[in-house]
Structure 1
Amino acid sequence: MTALASAKADTSGTRNRKPTTAGTSRRRALGKRGLEPWLYLAPAFIVLIALLGYPIFQLINVSLYDYRQAQVSGKAPLQFTGLENYQKLFADPEFWSVLGNTVLFAGACVVLTLLVGTSLAVLATRLRPWVRTALFVVSLGAWATPAVTGSAVWLFLFDPTLGLVNKALVSVGLTQFSGYSWTYDKWSAFGLVASEVVWCSFPFVLVTVYAGIQAISTEVIEAARLDGASMPRIARSIMLPMLRPIVMVVTIQSIIWNFKIFSQIYIITNGGGIAGQNLVLNVYGYQQAFAASLYGLGSALGVIMTALLMIITLVYLRILKRTGEVL
């Protein structure tokens, strides 16, 4: 009886150990599967850390010092000032004025770029093939034009005396534009720069949104037409909801690009306009870092710009996630 009981005990113990061993193996397999995607992403993470992490670390590091031309040349030692550069910026009314200019200017450029690009993308779906091809060729030509070249062309077109735009306006009876300077007034200068920015930015939205429209099933559109829906209603109620992930991408890209514009503002307004009325954060940071040799203050501006862009992007993604969009 004792031997039989011990045999049963051994058998039951073995049976109890089998599920434990199987569960451990399963957990190990799941752990390996969970680790596998990160192993594939590891090279990309390493590249990102090397290309982005170290420069951002250096930018933050410089912003914590009184870093001027004397420190660059080695004639004076570095002096750690902590958050003093940030305190100077937040206490400076000009910084808040420039920040307001940047937000308004970037917001207007983003809205106009999305409107123009999306409208042309919808229009392209209804054009003949050769007309659509011509539209894409012309648009991609504007997109491929360097910012410096485009700004120089814009300056020539809107020149007060030789510009074709002023001559065309005068020829139709608008004599007040004879010798009119588009860069003298603050808002007309911003409008001039915004028009050039939209001109060279909308092709990205056009091509991306058009590709998304082409991916929409034609059966869905035809069913809506059979139900009597007009094209604007189809675009608003069917196409736009299906294009939200693509619109999200182009919106974030446009916010980042337009928020950190430098070349167009600097060239068209000649460094920020009269008395700095057309300054944006990027141009203001350039003036502080290189014109005034206040590298620590310029670095602090760079850190603030990076933080603002990250906050805007995260808030936008958070809103989309709450609405149930797939990111």
Structure 2
Amino acid sequence: MTANTTAYKAPETTGAGGAGGAPARPPRRRGSPLRRSGWTPWLYLLPALVTLGGLLVYPIYQLGLISFLEYTQAQVSGGEPTTFVGFDNYADLLGDSQFWQVLLATVVFAATCVLATLFVGCALAVLLTRVRALPRLVLMMAALGAWATPAITGSTVWVFLFDPDFGPVNKVLGLGDFSWTYGRYSAFALVLLEVLWCSFPFVMVTVYAGIRAIPTEVLEAASLDGASQWRIWRSVMAPMLRPILIVVTIQSIIWDFKVFTQIYVMTNGGGIAGQNLVLNVYAYQKAFASSQYSLGSAIGVVMLVILLAVTLVYLRLVRRQGEEL
């Protein structure tokens, strides 16, 4: 019995450079040089970057430039030439005892405002998840109304509410003609309430949106395990909301550290003998009331450096804990 066998011969593979056993190269993907270089996303961001450059980068540059110059009313009017003085303005500023007092008052006031805003905003965000639709809608509309109110309008309304002669608050509390803006701490407390009133809606709405994104199964499991509402917030909600809490905390620090309108309007420019000055109002007085524009610019640069340092330290601590932003 004879078997016909046919030898199998593998097909020859010809490389790109000619005959041989080298495998064929995959065809090169053709595309525009712009797409291959990765510049396409930057083209979409270009209008926003140009706008931010005009509204933010250039003013900061001018602020820093003026802080190194001798720039007073004499230079503005052209009576004297503008001269470069280096770090003399910063040396004068750091050697002024009033600056350190104002800086301490600003830090304490801003920290109190941030803590109060986060506490009230988070508490109301949790409350929104516990009430029915109609009360939730009413609370939302009231909070957004407070948030949308201009700072100067809200400050004027609060001054009227706490007016010693015509304000309804003193009458309800039976305080007579007590002046809230006369004492240093009572004036700061009054401004704190107004800042809290116009700041907590941002925290409330943002945290509420984050809570709604948490799976209900997680919260129900914690409740079935017997955890209290405080324990659920501390052990379940807060860790899951940490990226959102980071954003609202940094935003609140920036807002409250550079408060100007509320202090200026409610304490009539910084209180009696400057007892309620914060850095922003202090810079305004130096620049425009005293015509020391270079010194006011130096205060602005110091504020910018402090805010950048606080933000970077906060983000670094968060990254060490392994959180993704």
3-state SS of 1:293 partner: coil
Secondary structure of the corresponding residue to residue 272 of structure 1: coil
Structure 2: distance between partners of 1:148 and 1:45: 30
- Aligned partner of 1:82 in structure 2 is 86
Q: Distance in 2 between matches of 1:314 and 1:308?
A: 10
Amino acid at match of 2:149: T
Asked if 1:160 corresponds to 2:164, the answer is yes
Q: What pairs with 1:18-37 in structure 2 (closer than 5 Å)?
A: 32=36, 35-37=39-41
Structure 1: distance between partners of 2:91 and 2:231: 51
For residue 46 of structure 1, report the CA deviation from its aligned partner.
Answer: 3.1
Q: Could you give the per-residue CA deviations for residues 143-200 of structure 1, whole angstroms, max 9, x where no partner exists?
A: 1111111111111111112221111111xxxxxx221111111111100100010011
Counterpart residue identity of residue 148, structure 2: A
Percent identical among aligned pairs is 60
AA of the residue aligned to 2:86: G
Partner letter of residue 268 of structure 2? Answer: N
Shift of 1:69: 1.2
- Structure with max Cα Rg: 2
- CA change 1:223–1:266 in 2 (3 A) is same
Distance 1:98 1:12, change over 3 A: farther
Question: Which residue does 2:282 correspond to in 1?
Answer: 284
Q: Of Structure 1 and Structure 2, which has the larger fraction of its residues in helix? A: 1
Residues 267-282 of structure 1: pairs in structure 2 closer than 5 A = 267-282=265-280
How many angstroms does 1:33 deviate by? Answer: 6.2
Deviations 1:199-235 (A, max 9, x none): 1110111111111111111111112222222222111
Q: CA RMSD in A?
A: 2.4
Do the aligned partners of residues 11 and 273 (structure 1) sit closer, same or farther apart at CA in structure 2, a change above 3 Å counting? same
**Structure 1 counterpart of 2:320, which letter?**
R
Report the more deviating stretch, 161-170 or 126-135.
Answer: 161-170
| Corresponding residue number in structure 1 for 2:50 | 46
1:64-143 → structure 2 map (5 Å cutoff): 64-143=68-147
Query: Aligned partners of 2:309 and 2:19: how far apart in 1?
Result: 59
- Correspondence for 1:309: 307
Query: Which residues in structure 2 correspond to 1:92-241 (within 5 Å)?
Result: 92-170=96-174, 177-241=175-239
Determine the structure 2 residue equivalent to 1:263.
Answer: 261
Q: Which one-letter code corresponds to 1:250 in the other structure?
A: V
Q: 1:58 aligns with which of 58, 62, 82?
A: 62
Which residue identity lines up with residue 155 of structure 2 in the other structure?
A: S
Q: Distance in 2 between matches of 1:63 and 1:33?
A: 40
Structure 1 residues 42 and 178: CA distance shift in structure 2, 3 A: same
- Structure 1 residue 40: Cα displacement: 4.1
Residue deviations 1:265-284 (CA, integer Å, cap 9, x gap): 01111110111010000000
Q: SS where residue 50 of structure 1 aligns?
A: helix
Q: Deviations over 1:72-106 (max 9, x none)?
A: 12121101111111000000000000000100000
In the alignment, residue 74 of structure 2 is paired with which amino acid?
A
Aligned residues: 307
Structure 2 alignment gaps of length 5 or more: 1-16
Q: Which amino acid aligns with 2:88?
A: E
The residue number in structure 2 matching 1:3 is: none
Distance 2:259 2:100 in 1: 18
Q: Counterpart of 1:321?
A: 319
Q: Normalization by structure 1: what TM-score? A: 0.87
SS in 2 for 1:181: coil
Encode CA deviations 1:268-304: one digit per residue, 9 max, x unaligned: 1111011101000000000000000111111111111
Q: Deviations over 1:35-70 (max 9, x none)?
A: 554454444333322321111111111111110112
AA of the residue aligned to 2:220: E
Classify 1:80/1:228 alpha carbon distance in 2 versus 1 (closer, same or farther; 3 Å): same
**Cα distance 1:34–1:87, how it changes in 2: closer, same or farther (>3 A)?**
same
- For 2:70, what is the secondary structure of its paired residue? coil
